[in-house]
Structure 1
Amino acid sequence: MEKQNIDRTKEKGKSIRCYKSKYCIKCLLLSLPFLLLVVLYVKKDPFLVLRKYKDYDHSNICLNEGAIGWYKYKLFRDKAHYDSFIMGTSCTMAYRCEDWNKHIHAHPYRFFSNSEGLADLYLKLSALDKQPNQPIKNLLFIFENGLLTKDYMQTDAMHIMPPEISKVNKVTYQMTFLQNFFNPLFLAPYLKYEFTHRYEHSMKGIINPYGVSHTGYNNNAIYPNEYKIRKLKENYWKETCWKELEAQSKHPKEFPRAIFHSQISYLNKIKAICNKHHTNIKIVFGPYLEKCYINRQDVAMLKQIFGNENVFDFSHSTNWHLFDKHNFYDRAHYRITLGKKIIDSIYANETNGNTKEVRYRT
């Protein structure tokens, strides 16, 4: 009887062990795709955040431009001796460092972020201020209404800043990108492109089909739409969307007020950094093709903080040439030809002893 009980106990133990083994095997099989994707992520490092690189300009992924801009700044600062910065949203693409440098004679760098917010811009400028022996001689801020409304640090994968800037811990920073990698909205088009090496319209915003995204030292934008315009010529502006934009432009509207107590606090902090470095600062609001005007109270507040001579609002310009569709790549981004004219106009008074009329008056 006792022997039978022992045998039953042994059989029960074997059964439990067998069940545990099967359970472990099933768990391993179920987790295998996840583990393989983690291995792929570590190997490919699609967002260029796991390791340091010598080249951040040739990625087939749409990257976090703010983070990449910081990595490039750190990579080249000792060689390039940066002392002047173009900052703001993706509309900075219209402003080339070489065009700006004709007026400032310095060592400029385009340090932008897509859909940048005011809090993000301040954190970046504050991080520059804390870098050893880093002068900030000139700043060219390209503002939009959306930038002013964001008085909070953005923490998603396309906008989160490196720990040196954002002060988030390294684990949180890396997990943000890993989680974004596993998001089906990213992972599906990414894997499809990895296997097929063919770009599809559904991959827009995920895959960069152009290969090169910036120039080296100064981080200027690469302009694939300029090649498209050369090829299509007038047909570039004959798509339906342009007719809709032209129709909207016949009914101008002013944005609601965006600058309140929180924004004023950030703007004063930015001004304090400028005062510390004796920075020559220029703030520009570009034109909107739909004739959307920056709120006049916001413009007045910026002029009060930074000086009337340092704030330029081209959204209110009376020069109709500014709003010609041929000056634009799309509804949000204007061309480098217009960016150059704006730069020339805002420095015209300084370089000509206030005797020459600004060509594109605000």
Structure 2
Amino acid sequence: MEKISETITGANIRKQSAFLRLVRKLAWFFLPFWALMAFYVYDDPFMILRKYDLYDSDVMLNEQHVGWQIYQNHKDSVNFNSFILGNSCIMAFRCGEWEKYLAPGDRTIRLFGNGEGLKAISLKLHALEKEGAEIKNVLMILDRTSLSRFSLLNGYSNVLPAAISGDSPFTVQMEFIQAFAMPDFLFPYLKYRITGRVEPGTKRMNPYGRIRDSRNNDSFNPREKMIEQEGEAYWKNRKKEFPERKGTVVVEEPVIFQQQRVLLEEISKILRRHDTSVRILISPDYHQKELHPNDREILQSIFGKENVYDFSGINEFTEDYHNYYESGHYRPLLGNQLLKRIYHKEKTSLYKVKE
């Protein structure tokens, strides 16, 4: 019996020893991972783990999170009641400029996303409503692409905050962790942390410094300074960014179908609930392609003809290439002209969403 007991004891000791060796090996194997995670939490490169007063970084941040966090930072002190929603062409519209056409005391903020679609806009309005926000005015900047999108985009630069999307914070956080761990970001970022310099052309990095207002999320586009410095040479030296246009009318295929229409109706329903003054603006496309008339008519039927402004196609705004940073985005000087055109009837006139 003693020999059997000794044999069992010896076997148990060997099993424990083998288990401890396995644990040590696994610990060494996962050590780089835990070190990487510790570095990620310490650095918070995408500025989403902690609250900040200034949301500008040498890393290209997620505009969805930046806008929402700026709103959270100042909603109680500024009392935002007017919202610019839509895609990245929102950079052409300054909050202070829009406020000139609103009632005294109205305060605006930009809540946009790169490549923003209808689903994201709907979710943001729902989130504002849940927050108890006054949704008095909405300026919605759309184009054919944003009208066509009825689902959310993937990837760290597009994922919505959990408070908007309804996803778990863990699911949202995983998008950023995956982006951080990818070699095309991680290695240039490590080099940046060592040298303190952003290498030209580095993916997902911001070499321009401050690019937004920390109070209302207005855009400070570095290309404005380039235009100021270079003058006409800015456009002359960037022919690839400004391809030649044919000067003939090209009408795009329709993009608003049942799924898009459902989302547009949902957006309109929220706005009617708050008696919101809304302007729908279809961006002046550099390529001068015109939104299909069916799409325009659907928008007008949902939001009211007097609230939909289509600046696509060939017109006085798209003719002048000086209005554009590149073929995908236009400048605030054009945004100011469009606001003036939209509100030309009466400076403080407010049309309500069609019932």
TM-score (norm 2): 0.89
In the other structure, the counterpart of 1:213 is 211
Are the equivalent residues in 2 in contact too, given 1:252–1:290 (CA < 8 A)?
A: no
Q: Does 1:143 align with 2:142?
A: yes
5 Å-filtered alignment, 1:194-213, equals 194-204=193-203, 206-213=204-211
Which among 325, 330, 333 is matched to residue 329 of structure 2?
A: 333
Deviations 1:260-282 (A, max 9, x none): 11111111111111111111110
Structure 2 residue matching 1:304: 3-state secondary structure = helix
| Secondary structure, counterpart of 2:343 in structure 1 | helix
Relative distance call for 1:271 and 1:285 in structure 2 (3 A) is same
Does residue 93 of structure 1 match 2:71? no
1:196-275 correspondence runs (5 A)? 196-204=195-203, 206-242=204-240, 245-250=242-247, 252-275=249-272
State the AA in 2 paired with 1:74: Q
Partner-residue secondary structure (3-state), 2:326? coil
Name stretches of at least 5 consecutive residues in structure 1 with no aligned partner: 354-362
- Unmatched 5+ residue regions in structure 2? 350-355
Report the AA paired with residue 127 of structure 2: A
| Cα deviations by residue, 1:130-155 (Å, 9 ceiling, x for unpaired) | 222x2111111000111111101234
Q: Deviations over 1:277-319 (max 9, x none)?
A: 1111101112111222222211111011111111111113432
Q: In 1, distance between residues paired with 2:5 and 2:127?
A: 71
2:341 maps to which of 345, 352, 356:
345
> CA 1:252/1:351 → structure 2, altered by over 3 Å: closer, same or farther?
same
The corresponding residue for 1:318 is: 315
Per the TM alignment, residue 114 of structure 1 is displaced from its structure 2 partner at its CA by 1.1
Structure number with higher helix proportion: 1
Mapping of residues 1-362 of structure 1, within 5 Å:
20-56=19-55, 58-105=56-103, 106-132=106-132, 134-204=133-203, 206-242=204-240, 245-250=242-247, 252-319=249-316, 321-351=317-347
Counterpart contact for 1:66–1:159, Cα < 8 Å: yes
AA at the equivalent of 2:283:
G
Q: Secondary structure at the match of 1:226?
A: helix
Shift in CA distance, 34/251, structure 1 to aligned 2, threshold 3 Å: farther
Q: Which residue does the alignment assign to 2:352?
A: none
Measured against aligned partners, the alpha-carbon deviations of 1:210-246 in whole angstroms (never above 9, x if no partner) come to 221211222100121111111122221123544x734
> 1:15-64, CA deviations, whole angstroms, 9 ceiling, x for partnerless residues?
666555444433323322211110010011112221222222x2121111
Partner of 1:357: none
What is the CA RMSD across the aligned residues, in angstroms?
A: 2.4
**Structure 1 residues 251 and 29, CA gap change in structure 2 (3 angstroms):** farther
Residue identity (%): 35
TM-superposed CA distance for 1:332, in Å, is 0.6
